[in-house]
Amino acid sequence: MHKVLIVDDDWLILEDICNLINWENCGFQAPLTAQSAGQALKILEEIPVELVITDISMPEISGVELILQAKQICPDIVFAVLSNYDDFLYVKEAMKAGAVEYLLKYEIERENLKKFLMQMEKEIQAKKRSMQEQEQLFQMQKNARYDLGCLFWQQVYQDQLDYRRMYDQALRLEIPVNGGAWIPVLAEFEDREKLKDAEGLWKKLENAALRAGGECRIYGAPVKEGLLFLAVFIPEVSFLIIITLMTKLLNILQEVFTYMDMSVFMCAGRICMQLKELPEGLRGMHEYCHLRFYRGYRTITDNISRLVEKGAFPEDGCKKGEFPFAEWEELISVMATESPEKVEKSFEKFRQAVARQEPPEQILKRETAGKLRDFRESMENQEKRLSELENASTCSAFFEQLKEIVSECGKAASFLQKISRREIRETVIYLFQHYEETVTLNQLAEMACMSRAYFCKIFKDEVGMNYTDLLNQIRIGHAMQLLQKSSLHTREVALLSGFTDYRYFCRLFKMMTGKTCGEYRKSSLMEKEEGRGEGDNAAYQP
């Protein structure tokens, strides 16, 4: 049903028109009425109306003026006018103002009014189609402009434009080419999926620029998966003002990303006094991955070029930047021969050496993963675990994965080195590799080529516990890792750890750890947040 408003200063005419027909049968709701243009404008501000039928000659504000003012409030309304014989000149003015039809007052009869409303319904539908087409055209132009802008900034990032082409394209896109200063900023997102909501993100970035003040403007585009290139324009030439505004803007951006639950590493390059200098300013930022890996996400670095000059990155021939081979070889040796306590100490020594020397990310991952593959028989899901290690995006995430692998290898090695009989050693390795499956005494005894009773005796003598106790230790250890690392329901954790009886799993977990699954997950998360706090919230250093 369409909403209609009838405006006339003669209440008798209003009453006659309203009562002349059944409006609902014609596709309209019962009409709203107003006896002056002022009343009509108030109604239009509060109620969405699709058709306005107005008298032309009214005191104070005429019907023509009403149409002009109402179009500013609701541009998609269809207007028609009521006229007498001597109003024809006013009708022409009304048509110029936007009315689509007129109705002579002396012709207002039931059938004429129905025909008139049928015509108005067609006009309303045509108006809606026209508005939709205009909206689509506007959106297409907006999308095309956005796409052209993205292409321009991607070309700037890749240094594919000479000065003349950069200048011409910037003018067409209404990007400032004279005055002010430009600062390149790279923002890498930990969760790359969140960068896909480009429209919502850009609105928040523009609002951040407004909050920073100084008429700051933010341009840019996604340039790689998870990587956003921002070009910040500040229309000031004072170095102190530029630094102050940029510091404020970066911190506001970090607040925005934190509010959106986005972990983002940001680094700013040197100040460029002309647009054409941006590609040069970006060249000094090629080491941002190194900073992100060692500083972590939710970190802001103000001037990466200055850090390079200060020696924050490895240089050829210096100790900093070298992989700590001695500490790593020691850890590998300890994993194979010593107790879990000594493995943990050696691991911490290696971790400190890496933090001190900061070897390149790829070398660190290549050397550690390569050596760990030598522990082939003592690691379950080896390639999957090593793949997670190699894909770690920060140093803290890398060592979190590495600690689990080293701990697992060390435990397996400590069991294996105590076992003198090859048959029992092979069954222990089988338990480490197949704990998530159903393992029976018959299977293990058959693998060892022993009777069930003799296998149980020899296994306990060699390992120090029966096979079910060892299997439960392995399974509960895996369940603890899943509770720490994932948000899986405890029933799923039980199944993935090899337990088909959920209640038995819960009882055994509480007995072995002293906590329920929920309590253990909560305490693990708290410890994780406390450990991460210092690295993930590194202060901005101007």
Give pLDDT tens digits for 310-344.
444 444 444 567 889 888 888 887 776 666 777 88
Q: Is 123 exposed, middle or buried (0-12, 13-18, 19+ CB in 10 A)?
A: middle
Q: Same domain for 303 and 319? A: no
Task: Tell me whether residue 430 is in a domain.
Answer: no
Question: 522 to each of 18, 208, 261, how far by Cα in Å?
Answer: 68, 35, 20
Q: Calculate mean pLDDT across residues 249-267.
A: 84
The token duo for 472 is: 């439960």
Q: Same domain for 323 and 296? A: no
pLDDT at 507: 92
In this structure, are residues 407 and 204 in contact, taking their beta carbons and an 8 Å threshold? no
pLDDT at 168: 92
In this structure, are residues 349 and 329 in contact, taking their beta carbons and an 8 Å threshold? no
Biggest CA–CA distance in the chain, Å, is 119
Q: Same domain for 367 and 250? A: no
CATH of the domain at 216: 3.30.70.1130
200-209, 409-418, 508-517, range with the lowest pLDDT: 409-418
Q: Same domain for 285 and 169? A: yes
Q: Same domain for 166 and 112? A: no
Of the residues 371, 390, 409, the one at which a domain ends: 390
Count of structural domains, the chain: 3
Does the pLDDT at position 377 exceed 60? no
Q: What is the 3-state secondary structure (H, E, C) of 434-465?
A: CCCCCCCHHHHHHHCCCCHHHHHHHHHHHHCC
Question: If residue 418 lies in a helix (H) or strand (E), which one and from where to where?
Answer: helix 395-418
- pTM above the 0.75 mark? no
The token duo for 295 is: 């500083």
Does the pLDDT at position 534 exceed 50? no
Task: Tell me whether residue 264 is in a domain.
Answer: yes
Domain span at 346: 315-390
Q: Same domain for 331 and 299? A: no
Does the pLDDT at position 49 exceed 70? yes
Give 39-43's long-range contacts (Cβ < 8 A, gap of 24+). 39/7, 40/5, 40/7, 40/66, 40/70, 41/66, 41/69, 41/70, 41/73, 43/5
Q: Same domain for 275 and 183? A: yes
pLDDT digits (tens, 9 = 90+) for 420-436: 888 888 888 788 778 88
409 vs 507, residue with greater confidence: 507
Q: Same domain for 294 and 238? A: yes
Of the residues 343, 362, 390, the one at which a domain ends: 390
Q: Same domain for 275 and 165? A: yes
Q: Same domain for 104 and 226? A: no
pLDDT at 155: 92
Task: Tell me whether residue 497 is in a domain.
Answer: no
CA distance 58 to 10: 9
CATH of the domain at 59: 3.40.50.2300
pLDDT digits (tens, 9 = 90+) for 1-46: 889 999 988 888 888 889 888 888 888 988 999 988 889 999 988 8
Q: What percent of the chain is modeled with pLDDT above 70?
A: 86
CA distance 287 to 186: 11
Of the residues 365, 390, 415, the one at which a domain ends: 390
pLDDT at 505: 92
pLDDT at 261: 80
CA dihedral defined by 30, 32, 34, 38, rounded to 10 degrees?
-170
Q: What percent of the chain is modeled with pLDDT above 90?
A: 12
Task: Tell me whether residue 453 is in a domain.
Answer: no
Task: Tell me whether residue 29 is in a domain.
Answer: yes
464 vs 334, residue with greater confidence: 464
Q: Same domain for 163 and 296? A: yes
Task: Tell me whether residue 100 is in a domain.
Answer: yes
CB within 8 Å of 5: residues ≥ 6 apart: 31, 32, 33, 34, 40, 43, 44, 49, 51, 52, 53
Task: Tell me whether residue 296 is in a domain.
Answer: yes
Q: Is 449 exposed, middle or buried (0-12, 13-18, 19+ CB in 10 A)?
A: exposed
The token duo for 501 is: 């009886």
pLDDT at 15: 87
Task: Tell me whether residue 338 is in a domain.
Answer: yes
The token duo for 331 is: 């850890």
Mean pLDDT of the chain: 81
CA distance 267 to 259: 19
pLDDT at 462: 85
Q: Same domain for 13 and 120? A: yes
Question: If residue 399 lies in a helix (H) or strand (E), which one and from where to where?
Answer: helix 395-418
Does the pLDDT at position 152 exceed 90? yes
Q: Calculate mean pLDDT across residues 431-443.
A: 86
